[in-house]
Structure 1
Amino acid sequence: MPIRPKFKWLYPIDWPELSNAIRFGRAKGRCETCGRPHGKEVRHLGDGRWWDEEQQLWRNGRGRSLPRLVVNDHAAVRTTKVFLATAHLDHDPSNCPSRNLKALCQRCHMIHDREEHQRRRRITLRMRKAIGDLFLGLYR
């Protein structure tokens, strides 16, 4: 995920190199939660189950194989291109030891950040409902 310019100062100077070392060195180009490969088109069912082309089997959202899964012709199989990002497990961008970093695909990263996204959404909705500031007047 791209870093917002206003938060760029929170990251260390060598962040691109550190991120590459985690994503491609330690994780070997695969999501550390579900195992999806970086840069590949992956077929999936939309609920986390995805087709592992290398192993020729279906996997669940945690990367475990699903040997008994049979997909019929009417199933809505979609494709997504996978991109890995380095996520901070404690959500603190200044805390960068390797034990606090994890290579995650878009889906796993969104799941990992779900609570933070919900918190920001609540704040945004409350700000929209507010009429204005006590001293500055109406919001425009």
Structure 2
Amino acid sequence: MNFLIVLGVFITMEGATWLIHRYIMHGFLWSLHRDHHDHSHDGKLERNDLFFFIFASPAIALLYLGVKQEFSHWFFIGLGISLYGMAYFFVHDIFIHQRAKVFSKTNNPYFLAIRRAHKQHHKHLGKEDGECFGFLWVPVKYFKMYFNKK
């Protein structure tokens, strides 16, 4: 049962990420997310990196609460959120934005589709007119670009 909680939360986080990215990061918290699009920051860190703390806080609180209650369901909800956050970090920050210069070359159609959709998202410098707000699942047309090649 606990595995299903973790898996369900991980999958649900994709929808939550889309909604948060579209309506919060490109909405009332655009002031924190803007420098991720226009590269107006002066160092390696961006104001956008504050979202790590914003999103990690509830996961940490749930993990703590779950441990205090002898590994109740709260722990496994927090674990699902944390695992999604780790996947996000590795795919978004390391693979797509190359914050660490590893995994820069791939022929994997899934990863090429995700990278392409993310580039489409970043072609918009403003908070309006965005597209591709998802993370691990992006519009099918990007998958078709790479999975249908012969």
* The two structures share one fold, judged by TM-score above 0.5: no
> Which entry has the higher C-alpha Rg, 1 or 2?
1
The two structures have a TM-score, normalised by structure 1, of 0.29
Bigger strand fraction: 1
